[in-house]
Amino acid sequence: MTLAPWREGSFEIATQDGQFIVNGFVSEEFGIRYAGRRYPAWTVTHLASGKLVTPGAAGFTQLEMAMAFASRVAALSDWNRIDGQAPGRELGLQVMAIWNELIALDMAKTLNDRYLSSACEAHKEPKRFRSRKRV
């Protein structure tokens, strides 16, 4: 199953402190929002229940990975028929397997983008300045 194109929109999330409306991206059964405070974190929410699909307070550093996660998870089940209280052990295991695969790719890309590019810059030949001779 392929999700419809993502569009900007608002959706409701369920937290320990109650229900809140947040802004982000929506597509069919899922919403994605930026929930980072100390570090980048894009989380995926099941729209019908308002509950997180990404584990705990964790999220992807790359928006594209959160979208890929939602797309792959969408193919696992008819999310309109899932009880938000008890999605089922088998589905939970499948979601975690996709999470583990994509979060590893997300971290590798983040580290590569952040540190490899700066390491390559550090290894470049430094500029040599010509000294001027005084006459």
The domains of the chain are located at 7-122
- The Cα 38–Cα 43 span in angstroms is 14
Q: How many CB atoms lie within 10 A of CB 24?
A: 22
- The Cα 61–Cα 106 span in angstroms is 7
Give the rounded percent of residues in the chain with a pLDDT score beyond 70. 79
The whole-number pLDDT of residue 131 equals 55
In 16-124, at which residue ranges do the beta strands (DSSP E only) sit? 18-27, 30-34, 42-46, 51-52
The whole-number pLDDT of residue 88 equals 75
Give pLDDT tens digits for 92-128.
Answer: 899 999 999 998 999 888 888 777 665 555 555 555 5
User: Would you give the distance in Å from CA 15 to the centre of its chain?
Assistant: 18
